[in-house]
Amino acid sequence: MIYASADDWRNAAQKKVLLFGMSGLGKTHLSNMLRDAGDWFHYSIDYRIGTRYMGEHIADNAKREAMKVPFLRDLLLSDSIYIGSNITFNNLAPLSTYLGKPGNPDLGGVPFEEYMRRQDQHRTAEIAALLDTPHFVNRAHDLYGYDHFVCDTGGSICEVVDPENPDDPILKALSQNTLMVWIKGSDDHAAELARRFDKAPKPMYYQPQFLKARWSEYLETNGLNEHQVDPDAFVRWTYAAALAHRQPLYQGMANWGVTVTAQEVAAVKTTSDFDDLIAAALERA
């Protein structure tokens, strides 16, 4: 780890951390708090994916829908209007909407083959955005003058790394440039995340093997063909399994850094609190 002890962390001229864990446990909350304090650079992996690496895909998809409307088609073809996504750190809807959900097109679903194509685009983009982290560590300091750096990763980081491989290129690059911090949730947190997802199911990225197995199982169990699937019902059903699928992957990634709990994160209100949180985690490591 790039900080050998709590004292090493507290005395560091540059503090560089990467937060990972399930969505909804406080990664972006902490990152926003640190950024708002004024001397932390906030690098959002999902924002980088949605702008640098998938921005054109997202915009083209919106244009494709607009081209189906004669009024908008004429305006687009004459360059009279512009269509783009307004993605922000706190509003990633353009990215998740593009990923989509497989199933009945009358319910907003996309064909499974197209869904998997977009999943693969996301995988490529996420790997590239993660590997950009060292560049942004240097850019934040050398170009913008920020002493401290926080990388806010997406919940799917565990789907694109192999934590059991000591030579995993992504984890090596991240751990050599940042202190990796797992925000670990409890069973109660998992139940709350499932409740939130059930209320508002959203597209997510998963390993292709996991996703194909869940899709086949869902079709067989329910006696459906692709066009009969309720997209929201499928992603709700998949999410429940994803919580269990991802937990051991996060656990393995924790060996590359330190662990804090979601309960501890909820108590952090200031940068001083954050320093104490990381120092305590290093003392436990």
Map the chain to HEC letters.
CCCCCHHHHHCCCCCEEEEECCCCCCHHHHHHHHHHHCCEEEEEHHHHHHHHHCHHHHHHHHHHHHCCCHHHHHHHHCCCCCCCCCCECCECHHHHHHHCCECCHHHCCECHHHHHHHHHHHHHHHHHHHHCHHHHHHHHHHCCCCCEEEEECCHHHHHCCCCCCCCCHHHHHHHHHCEEEEEECCHHHHHHHHHHHHHCCCCCCCCHHHHHHHHHHHHHHHCCCHHHCCHHHHHHHHHHHHHHHHHHHHHHHHCCCEEEEHHHHHCCCCHHHHHHHHHHHHHHC
- Each residue's pLDDT tens digit in the chain (285 positions)? 999 999 999 999 999 999 999 988 899 999 999 999 999 999 999 999 999 999 999 999 999 999 999 999 999 999 999 888 888 888 888 999 999 999 999 999 999 999 999 999 999 999 999 999 999 999 999 999 999 999 999 999 999 999 999 999 999 999 999 999 999 998 888 888 889 889 988 899 999 999 999 999 999 999 999 999 999 999 999 998 888 899 999 999 999 999 999 999 999 999 999 999 999 999 998
pTM, two decimal places: 0.93
